[in-house]
Structure 1
Amino acid sequence: MPLTTTRNSPDWPCQVKPPGSYDWERSAARWLRELVPARYSGYPALIRHPVLLARHAQIQVHHEIRVARTALQTARTELPPLGLPESVIEHSIKLYAAEIRQLQHIARSVRAVTEALVGHGAVR
């Protein structure tokens, strides 16, 4: 099964070795563990099954996108009553928008790594 996503792709994370190279699955798992809450890194099923870890990372990132979108959409109505100055609110809005773009890129990267793991038979 040929892979369309490689390390040269803009979606491939630079922290992960190219699919098929020596120890690439380990580099993928290490990167994916950084995307999930720390307490998950000790779960044996997630350690032994990188595809399961990738699935959980996908879910985690999608939830983070949803949280950032909610924060962005509600900033103008919910932040003023907290007594925050307009400049802080505007800065927060820019921050949330940038975070959403970054998380969307991470989501594409997780998807690329997941496809590579599945395509290289990382399901054990």
Structure 2
Amino acid sequence: MPQTATFTLSPDWPMQVKAPGTHDWERTATRWLRDLLPARYGGYLTLTRHHALLARHVQLQLQHEMRAVRAALQTSRAELPTMGIAESVIENSIRMYAVELEQLGRLARGARLVSDALLVGTPAQRRR
């Protein structure tokens, strides 16, 4: 009798990605990961054909974006007034950066989960 795997997905699992083991889940995972990268990366076949490389690059990209947003958030009050930006705009930008940092954190957690799921069953993972 065939066994059916059941998965309890983390709340951080992206809604756009089907559950691991379901029909076509890897296609939805790679599409979601590709969408997290700047459009110019879509032309690199090396990334689009190798799930592990794509997942790794997405994680690096998100880490760098988070660093950039943190730097913008931390320097807003000191640097933006010297640029002549109004206080109300500064406050709005700080809120925007805080929201973006939360969103990037959720995306990074989702990317890690998807990456781990894609790597299960690969030769490198089986050697562990």
Name the TM-score, length of structure 1 as normaliser: 0.90
Q: Do 1:18 and 1:24's aligned partners in 2 also have CA atoms closer than 8 Å?
A: yes
Cα drift, residue 59 of structure 1: 0.4
Q: Which residue of 2 aligns with 1:23?
A: 24
* Gap change, CA 1:34 and 1:89, over 3 Å in 2: same
In structure 2, C-alpha distance between the alignment counterparts of 1:107 and 1:7, rounded to whole Å? 19
1:120 Cα deviation (Å)?
Answer: 3.8
2:106 is aligned to 105
User: Is 1:41 the counterpart of 2:42 in the alignment?
Assistant: yes
Q: CA deviation at 1:110?
A: 0.2
- Whichever residue aligns with residue 20 of structure 1, its letter is G
Quick one: distance in 2 between partners of 1:122 and 1:22? 21
For residues 21-52 of structure 1, what are the alpha-carbon distances to aligned partners after superposition, in whole Å with 9 as ceiling and x for unaligned? Answer: 11111100000001111111111111111111
Provide runs of 4+ in structure 1 moved above 3 Å.
none
Letter in 1 for 2:69: A
Per-residue deviation, residues 44-86 of structure 1 (Å, max 9, x unmatched): 1111111110000000000000000000000001100111111
1:91 shift after superposition: 0.7
SS at match of 1:10: coil
Deviation at 1:8, TM superposition (A): 3.2
Deviation at 1:92, TM superposition (A): 0.6
Taking only the aligned residue pairs, the percentage that are identical comes to 57
**Partners of 1:83 and 1:71 in 2: how far apart?**
16
Task: Determine which structure has more spread, i.e. the larger CA radius of gyration.
Answer: 2
CA RMSD after TM alignment: 1.5
CA change 1:122–1:51 in 2 (3 A) is farther
1:66 alignment counterpart: 67
Shift of 1:122: 8.8
Residues matched between the structures, number: 118
TM-score, with length taken from structure 2: 0.87
| Higher relative contact order (Cα pairs below 8 Å, separated by 6+ residues) | 1
How many Å apart are 1:121 and its aligned residue? 2.8
Unaligned runs of 5+ in 2: 1-6
